[in-house]
Amino acid sequence: MSTEQELLTKWRSLPQDKQEVVLDFVEFLGLKNSANKTPLGERLQQIRNRIVASGKHLLDEDEIEKELASRRGGLQDREE
CA count, 13 A, side-chain hemisphere, 16? 0
pLDDT digits (tens, 9 = 90+) for 61-74: 989 888 888 888 86
* Cα 46 to chain centroid, rounded: 14
Mean pLDDT of 1-24: 92
Give the residue extent of every domain in the chain.
3-79
DSSP 51-72: HHHHTPPPP-HHHHHHHHHHHH
pLDDT digits (tens, 9 = 90+) for 42-58: 888 889 889 989 999 88
Q: Decide if 37 contacts 29 (C-beta within 8 A).
A: no
Mean pLDDT of 20-36: 81
pLDDT, residue 15, reads: 93
Q: 79 pLDDT exceeds 70?
A: no
